[in-house]
Amino acid sequence: MAEANIYESPKLLGEYLLLHFGGATDLCHESLPVDPSITAMPFPVRCVRELLDTALLPENATALEVGCAVGGSAFELARHCSKVDASDYSSSFIAAAKTLLLEGEIAAPRAVEGAITTSFTAHVPSEIEKSCITFSVADATKLPPDLGPYDVVLAANLLCRLPDPEAFLSRASELVKPGGQLLLTTPFTWLEEYTPRDRWIGGIDPNNRSEKELLRHLSRDFRLHRRRDLPFLIREHERKYQLGIALGTCWIRN
Ligand SMILES: C[S@@+](CC[C@H](N)C(=O)[O-])C[C@H]1O[C@@H](n2cnc3c(N)ncnc32)[C@H](O)[C@@H]1O
């Protein structure tokens, strides 16, 4: 039997709605010792605010997000772009993103312990112009040949979930207009269940670490414009969390 896609599970749907739309009190136990800067603004919002150089955007800029999950970054991109196409492989994530697009909110269970949950309602900030956003189910490894190009392409924490990250980077460079921005974040969590070892970008030889290898792959078509560490916190339940530190980069297309 084929392994189920964890990103279709109700558990991860709840976790990602909290990650994308939760505030500090929704997300955290009162004794959780995390820096407030990590929870003051949702991770997907910080990805856009810290990496996108809005001064470089043309009028009526267009954006593509791949691996958008429940849409937090896509809504943030809509503050700066007049068209945002966002997609993810998970149909349950995209169904939630579409509900947020239509209704502006969605309720989800928030894990407390065992089978106990409380309700959390994710809201899209009311000032965001939602009519310029589309959400669709799409496989990042099989994007349509006629897609784009865009002024901005974002892939947040997607790279180490793909079977061939290098092939994705090559495709991404075709999707960005000259002078446009490629925004990437990744914690480089290489796992053979997603990416065969011989396809990892770094992660094997201490002399060829992932960041250096990423630079090598992208420097043919891009120049590195911004680099940030972007911590993120995923709540599994009231007393269990995952703390990651994604490397965020903004690349300008030659
Ligand atoms: C670690 S999550 C990151 C989600 C979101 N970008 C964020 O930063 O919160 C990885 C996402 O990639 C999606 N994904 C995995 N494989 C994919 C593929 N082949 N094509 C498109 N999306 C994929 C998953 O459904 C999930 O939403």
The pick from 45, 141, 161, 232 for probing ligand 1's pocket by mutation, whose C-beta has the most ligand atoms within 8 angstroms, reads: 161
With a 6 Å cutoff on the Cβ, whether 67 touches ligand 1 is: yes
For 241, how many CA atoms within 13 A lie in the half-sphere containing its CB? Answer: 22
Q: In what order do the strands lie in the sheet with 133-137?
A: 133-137, 83-88, 62-66, 150-156, 176-186, 240-253, 222-237
Contacts of 71 (CB under 8 A, 6+ apart): 20, 86, 96, 97, 100, 101, 133, 135
Please tell me the predicted confidence (pLDDT) of residue 33: 87
Please tell me the predicted confidence (pLDDT) of residue 2: 52
Task: Name the residue at shortest CA distance from atom 25 of ligand 1.
Answer: 90
With a 6 Å cutoff on the Cβ, whether 5 touches ligand 1 is: no
Quickly list DSSP for 150-166.
EEEEEEES-GGGSS-HH
The pick from 158, 159, 185, 245 for probing ligand 1's pocket by mutation, whose C-beta has the most ligand atoms within 8 angstroms, reads: 158
With a 6 Å cutoff on the Cβ, whether 219 touches ligand 1 is: no
Distance separating alpha carbons of residues 82 and 59, to the nearest angstrom: 8
Please tell me the predicted confidence (pLDDT) of residue 3: 64
Angstrom distances, CA of residue 81 to CA of 68, 75, 78, 150: 16, 10, 5, 10
Please tell me the predicted confidence (pLDDT) of residue 28: 87
> Using an 8 Å Cβ cutoff, are 79 and 128 in contact?
yes
Please tell me the predicted confidence (pLDDT) of residue 104: 97
Report how far ligand 1's centroid is from the alpha carbon of 224 (Å): 23
Please tell me the predicted confidence (pLDDT) of residue 60: 97
**Domains contained in the chain, CATH given:** 6-253 (3.40.50.150)
Please tell me the predicted confidence (pLDDT) of residue 73: 98
**pLDDT tens, residue order, the chain (254 aa):** 456 899 999 999 999 999 999 999 898 888 888 888 899 999 999 999 999 999 999 999 999 999 999 999 999 999 999 999 999 999 999 999 999 999 999 999 999 999 999 999 999 999 999 999 999 999 999 999 999 899 999 999 999 999 999 999 999 999 999 999 999 999 999 999 999 999 999 999 999 999 999 999 999 999 999 999 999 999 999 999 999 999 999 999 99
